[in-house]
Structures are given as structure tokens and as C-alpha cells.
């Protein structure tokens, strides 16, 4: 069954709640993202609950006007959804990144957006995951709040390639330097100059 695209927390259906979730920008859906999503899907299948990725549009650096990058973003929304869906997720929720979201405290982000809206059983994030106003929230806070709510929280270790961590920033840097071979090695799939992901 193809992944369902959900636009906004208010459009969450009961069938999408109570599952295993992950949260992030997922720009490029690189090897690190793919490893994270595989864990989410495996855990969801073992629990027989839905899998869900929470992502944001626009990217935070676009919202804050930090677009003075040679490669501002790796994938547009449609390509990102397609790449996430092809990983095998049941649901992908797109949350609008606006001033209200940028201003929410880290604890309110967890309580009001994740726990109250999604009712997750398990949350997977990258080990560098940050959230809330001024990126104040981190894995330690998420895990602490998860324990109180009896929600399992796990951080996946960074995926390394050639001795360095895989990140969207590293992919952008490789592309800016014209090193498409490294960029595609980090992405795990081809990249086109238009920021579209070519699957094959």
C-alpha cells in the first residue's frame, strides 16, 4: 500500500496514530535518513502498528532566510515525499514551518505536537536531533519526556562514510565542490542539478 501524505497535524486520522514515528527535515533522504526509516518500519511491523515520518515545509533555513548556500536544498517537497514513500513508510506528515512552530518551546513541541496529536508508541530520531525554540530540545529531553509518557525513545548512531558522518550539510558541500560522486555515495541514490531525486 502506498504511503499516505498528511498535510498538518489537524488532518491526522485515527489510523495514523499510535504508531512508530521519526521526525526530521529529511532533506535529500540520504543514507542516514534511510537507516533511521528502516528501523522505524521494522519496529512498526513488529508491533503491527503504522509507521510515520514527520517532516517540515519549508526547511528551517529557508524560513529564517539562510538561503545563501550554493545548494540551498537537496529535494523539493514532492521529491522528498516520493523518496520517503519509497522507503516503505505508511504515512508522511508535512508540518508547515512558520513563526508559530519556530516559537514553540521544546517541551510543548513534544507534548502538544507529538504526544497529544500522534500518540506514538515509539519515537526514533537521529543522535543529533534538535527541536523547539532556538533548537533548545535535544535527545536527552525527548527521552526524559518519553519515559514520563511511557513512550519508548531511541536515537540511532550516526551513519559514517569515509570516516565522516553522513548529513545533508555534507551532501550540499560535496555538490558545491562539484564532487557528485561523493554526494551520490552519501545520498545512496542519483542526484540531478535541479534538486530532483532520480530513482533507479
pLDDT given for residue 195 in this prediction: 43
CA 189/CA 166 separation, integer angstroms: 14
Residue 107: exposed, middle, or buried by beta-carbon count in 10 A (0-12, 13-18, 19+)?
middle
The CATH number of the domain covering residues in 4-158: 3.40.50.620
**pTM listed for this prediction:** 0.89
CA 168/CA 163 separation, integer angstroms: 16
* DSSP reduced 3-state for 146: helix
Residue labelled with grid coordinates 551520490: 184
pLDDT given for residue 70 in this prediction: 56
Ranges of each domain in the chain: 4-158
What does the pLDDT profile of the chain (200 residues) look like in tens digits? 789 999 999 999 999 999 999 999 999 999 999 999 999 999 999 999 999 999 999 766 665 555 555 557 899 999 999 999 999 999 999 999 899 999 999 999 999 999 999 999 999 999 989 999 999 999 999 999 999 999 999 999 999 999 999 999 999 999 999 999 999 999 999 887 444 443 43
pLDDT given for residue 156 in this prediction: 94
pLDDT given for residue 196 in this prediction: 43
Contact 89, 3 (CB under 8 A): yes
Amino acid at each position: 500500500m502506498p504511503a499516505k501524505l498528511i498535510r498538518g497535524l489537524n488532518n491526522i486520522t485515527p489510523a495514523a496514530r499510535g504508531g512508530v514515528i521519526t521526525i526530521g527535515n529529511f532533506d535529500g533522504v540520504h543514507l542516514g535518513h534511510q537507516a533511521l526509516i528502516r528501523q522505524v518500519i521494522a519496529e512498526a511491523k513488529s508491533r503491527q502498528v503504522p509507521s510515520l515520518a514527520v517532516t517540515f515545509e519549508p526547511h528551517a533555513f529557508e524560513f529564517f532566510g539562510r538561503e545563501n548556500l550554493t545548494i540551498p536544498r537537496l529535494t523539493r517537497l514532492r521529491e522528498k515525499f516520493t523518496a520517503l514513500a519509497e522507503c516503505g513508510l505508511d504515512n508522511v506528515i508535512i508540518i508547515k514551518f512558520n513563526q508559530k512552530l519556530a516559537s514553540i518551546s521544546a517541551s510543548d513541541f513534544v507534548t502538544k505536537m507529538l504526544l497529544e496529536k500522534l500518540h506514538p508508541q515509539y519515537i526514533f530520531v537521529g543522535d543529533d536531533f534538535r527541536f523547539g525554540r532556538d533548537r533548545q530540545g535535544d535527545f536527552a529531553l525527548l527521552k526524559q519526556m518519553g519515559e514520563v509518557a511511557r513512550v519508548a525513545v531511541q536515537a540511532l548512531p550516526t551513519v559514517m562514510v569515509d570516516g565522516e558522518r553522513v548529513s545533508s550539510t555534507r551532501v550540499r558541500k560535496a555538490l558545491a565542490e562539484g564532487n557528485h560522486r561523493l554526494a551520490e555515495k552519501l545520498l545512496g541514490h542519483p542526484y540531478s542539478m535541479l534538486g530532483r531525486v532520480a530513482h533507479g
